[in-house]
Chains A and B, each alone.
Chain A
Amino acid sequence: MTRYIIRRALQAIPLLLLISVVVFALANAMPSGLMAAYENNPNISKEDLVRLQEELGLNTPAHIKYLNWLGNTVRGDLGYSLTERRPVTTILAERIPNTIYLTLVSFIVSLIISIPIGILSARRQYSIFDHMATGFAFIGQSIPIFWFGLILIIVFNVLLKNPVTGRPLLPGGGMYTIGAPFSVADRLQHLILPVAMLSVFQVAQHMRYMRSSMLDVIHQDYIRTARAKGLRERAIVYGHALKNALLPVVTVIGLELPTLVSGAFFTETIFSWPGMGRLFVNAAGLGDYTVLMAIVMLSALLVIVFNLLTDITYAFLDPRIQYS
């Protein structure tokens, strides 16, 4: 097992290098780079443009820029943001906790909702409950998520009012009421809409996985055997079936974990959530390649790590799987 892990870790190095080259090339090839933003600003004169290009190192040849970036990154220095003019590490340190706060809550909420529904749906296949759950899953997976977010704002912020205060029922964005003292209730209120938006898709997806994997298991011979020997239904489902049915779901969930850090682009953007997704969108729009690179490389690294972790967990959950 140890050898397997070491081998996988070593394999990751060329992969990360390859990703960094490709992303760096793409980030630098963007026609709407930082200079384009400057050129469209009528307040910046021609002379200043030439000077800025020099000062910000924007006209250094791409391969030199890449090697500089690589050298610094390996030494743990992610550089300065070209737009915020602050160290990228400082920026990430600000954003990551906010993102995890949002994504983790909605991830947990979605698991709490989707796993039981998935199980129930499978046990009562073709019942009204199953059909409703399936119908919901289709809606959840097919509505455009940004549209759904806007609808949430319109319904819960614009149309519905708090009957007591006459103010909007739920806040339409932000992490907390600006300027108000810290309050758990306030934080929770601000969480409701973004979590709803984020988990609708996750619930729909996880529920479908859970349902189909449960159905798979329920029709296996050993379950029939268990039934035949007169075990109670509860014991069959939770004692025998669930453990095995969870295996594929664990894989899916494991592969989703990196997005807890890389953030939710749409949700964070719509609800003014100061997280990684919003940072990424902003950096891409402004051509801030140091920030862009840091986020993409972090995401890539996490994907590789969580892939490995998922594989390892799998080995523990299923003794038949051996790595050598």
Chain B
Amino acid sequence: MKRLISLTVLLLTLALVFAACAQPAQQTTAPTAAPAAKATEAPKQAVAPTTAPAVPTAAPAAKATDAPAAKTTSAAPAATTAPSAAGQAQIQFTPSAPGKKGGKVTAAIWQEPDVLNPLLSSLTVTGEVTYSVIEGLADVDPNGNYYPRLAKEIPDQSNGGVSADGKTVTWKLKDGVKWSDGSAFTCDDVKFTWQARMTANVGVIDTVGFRDIDSLDCPDPLTAVVKYKTIYAAYRGNFGTILPKSAGDPTKMKDWAYNTKPLGTGPFKVDEFQRGSFIALSKNPNYREQGKPNLDQLIFRIVPSSEVAKQLLRSGEVDVMWNNTEADYPELQTIPGLKISDPVQNGGERLILNLTKPGEPSDNKTPHPILGDLKVRQGIAYGINKQQIIDKLLFGKALPGSGEQNAGFFNCGVAPFPFDAQKAASLLEEAGWKVGPNGIRTKDGQPLRIKYQTTTGNKLREDSQVLIVEDMKKIGVEFYIENQPSQLLIGSWANKSPRKYGNYDIIMYTTNGGVDPNSQMTNYFHSSSIPSEQNQGGVNYSRWNDPQTDKDITEAAQIVDLNKRKELYCDAVKRVVDGASHIYLYQRRSIQSARDYVQNFQSNPWASAFTWNAQDWWVSK
């Protein structure tokens, strides 16, 4: 009897526990794809597998700060007045009302900055925090146009900022800018930044661009003359962060107090960085824009995962959350009073097809036995149901992949390859691949069997592989999966990575081009970028070798007229799409979410931080 009673009590307790947990538990388990996807999908983060520049003058492709013209007069354009791109709505982001003063916004981040000195940090999340503290000379707005931050204007040849040979860039600095401690910002700080970046043996992470600088002179406190050794196309984004010369002796950088409490010119200053817990920023009283920022405080809470961040967003303990994915939509949409800002990103997930015969390394002259045939490649492209992937795995929120330039000024508006299984089948028939007894096509006794690889551990990718393998089976093509960890699959030439060696059939991953198409197009599609023993840094993994594409890309880099350049790039983009050397699957969004009382909150797919316009935020509650 006693046993019976205690058993009942036990069961009741259990039932209560589960009842209490049932609903929330569902909420936490629903978007299971999210964390996995984030690991490698997060925009501008792990996404683009080391796209090392093939041309010495080009910046890494994924850096959202590329500028025109690789090899010649860089004079150019895209600056502040780029005409609106056809077919792409311009994002409205200029703050309307002056806004209410005061209040604080708490943002959840689920990675912890290692150090707040941008020279020493290797984590993307650091930029989210320091963006509103440490300013640079220029950055990119949500429409993909450069705008000046500490500079008066973006230098180019039309305003005399760039010399005729393209090697000398003259930055005019804004007048009366002060560091948050009240001292004046001058050209000396710009010079100091260059010198600090180039200091040896302190572990500076990124010296791209700076190492191409021959000299930096300050003819007067508000003019910086930068002389590059060769033309540096991405000069506009070069000085993305400026350090104060008061930061200390660069050779003792690792002991700088600046590393945890950086001094900047931005709308906010760092009050406290408690490791493992939070970073508290407060209003910079010396900020150059009158009456800004509106907020008194901006807090970054370091939380363990995006799941926890979503719960805190729901409870109202945080107001803003960093970096959502499409898989977060169902849950985000159940949070009352939440707004989601999700402009599309340039580039996207694609299949990269190897056009040459796989080997160790591949012989770049011999075509691939199967994928060397254009009809087979196009057959595969027609056979993939992109919308199904988007609907089933991305909650209908992504766009079907179209081509390389699909956002910003250089949006080519290429139509996505339509899904047409019949057309796919007939193309394969034409190519001589006949359906065999087991439903798989064969030609000369060879089955139509293709190795299909991506990085392991990414649920979204693995799920989409399953759908694509099914699609292929329906048109008589056998895709077999052989995934590898990202370090192996997309590693270096020295590690004999399949991508570099051309020892693969099809690889799937994401890469995003920058504001200006030059480096992405040159890296991925110019024949001079085909990786080989002599050119180990090459990024043209598909081994796309088309004289017209080469001509377009080279020519586009040598002219100033924006519309003409766009025409040339778009011709190249179209050739690549029609040639199905890359098959574009889906184009993702840069998704940031905030409670609706955070005014002027706007995701910027080109900037390195969701806090890019935090000086305009205000709280209406």
Contacts and interface: CB of A to CB of B under 8 A. Distances in A.
A171 interface: yes
A275 B492 CA distance: 37
A55 B203 contact: yes
A42 B51 contact: yes
Contact of A278 (B6, B60, B115, B276): B276
B218 interface: no
Given A131-B10, A178-B278, A42 B302 contact: no
A254 interface: no
A32 B45 CA distance: 16
19 contacts: A42-B48, A42-B63, A44-B122, A45-B208, A46-B492, A46-B537, A52-B203, A55-B202, A85-B114, A132-B9, A139-B14, A151-B20, A172-B312, A179-B271, A179-B280, A272-B301, A273-B276, A274-B274, A275-B276
B60 A45 contact: yes
Interface stretch (B313-321, B472-480, B525-533): B313-321
A286 interface: yes
B13 to A, nearest CB: 6
Contact of B114 (A47, A159, A286): A286
B97 interface: no
Interface residues of A, number: 65
Contacts of A32: 487
Contacts of A25: none
Interface stretch (B21-29, B73-81, B360-368, B386-394): B21-29
Contacts of A318: none
A231 to B, nearest CB: 28
Contacts of B317: 157, 168, 171-173
B44 A274 contact: no
B5 A135 contact: no
B120 A132 contact: no
Contacts, number: 199
Interface stretch (A33-41, A233-241, A295-303, A307-315): A33-41
A135 B6 contact: yes
Q: Considering the complex of A and B, which 9 residue pairs feature the smallest CB-CB distances, nearest first?
A: A131-B6, A274-B276, A42-B62, A154-B24, A83-B114, A135-B10, A274-B277, A42-B48, A158-B315
Given A46-B50, A150-B308, A172-B317, A155 B276 contact: no
Contact of B10 (A37, A44, A132, A154): A132
A6 to B, nearest CB: 39
A175 interface: yes
Contact of A158 (B201, B314, B492, B537): B314
Contact of B50 (A39, A55, A128, A157): A39
B588 to A, nearest CB: 16
Nearest to A286: B114
Contact of A135 (B13, B51, B491): B13
A184 B459 CA distance: 45
A42 B278 CA distance: 26
Contacts of B13: 132, 135-136, 139
Contact of B9 (A131, A173, A279): A131
A38 B308 contact: no
Contacts of A139: 13-14, 17
A154 B115 contact: no
Contact of B46 (A40, A46, A159): A40
B206 interface: yes
A118 B486 CA distance: 51
Given A31-B487, A154-B24, A178-B278, A270 B308 contact: yes
A117 to B, nearest CB: 15
B490 to A, nearest CB: 9
Interface in B116-168: 117, 120, 122-124
A268 B40 CA distance: 25
Main secondary structure on chain A at its contact with chain B?
A: helix
A48 interface: yes
Contacts of A48: 204-208
Contacts of B27: 154
Nearest to A282: B112
B253 to A, nearest CB: 8
B47 interface: yes
Most chain B C-beta atoms within 10 Å of own C-beta, residue among A31, A126, A131, A279: A131
Interface string B64-106: 0000000000000000000000000000000000000000101
A132 B2 CA distance: 12
Nearest to B312: A172
A153 interface: yes
Contact of B487 (A39, A131, A275, A286): A39
Given A38-B205, A55-B202, 9 more contacts: A31-B487, A52-B203, A80-B254, A85-B117, A135-B10, A172-B315, A270-B308, A274-B274, A282-B276
A56 B202 CA distance: 8
A168 B276 contact: no
B576 interface: no
Interface string B425-442: 000000000000000000
B201 A55 contact: yes
B393 to A, nearest CB: 23
Interface in B371-420: none
B483 to A, nearest CB: 15
Given A85-B254, A174-B301, A39 B21 contact: no
B211 interface: yes
Interface string A142-184: 0000000011011101110000000110011111001100000
A224 interface: no
B617 to A, nearest CB: 17
Contacts of B117: 85
Given A55-B202, A55-B203, A274-B277, A42 B308 contact: no
A311 to B, nearest CB: 35
B10 A43 contact: no
A268 B276 contact: yes
A84 interface: yes
A282 B253 CA distance: 23
A168 B301 contact: no
A13 B49 CA distance: 45
Nearest to A85: B254
A256 interface: no
Contact of A179 (B40, B62, B299, B491): B299
Contacts of B114: 83-85, 286
B559 interface: no
B203 A85 contact: yes
A56 B277 CA distance: 27
Contacts of A168: 315-317
Nearest to A151: B21
A98 B274 CA distance: 11
A269 interface: yes
A151 B9 contact: no
B348 interface: no
B312 A173 contact: yes
Contacts of B202: 55
Given A45-B52, A83-B122, A274-B274, A153 B308 contact: yes
A228 B253 CA distance: 78
Nearest to A160: B315
A44 B206 contact: yes
Interface in B189-248: 200-208, 211
A284 B297 CA distance: 32
A272 B315 CA distance: 16
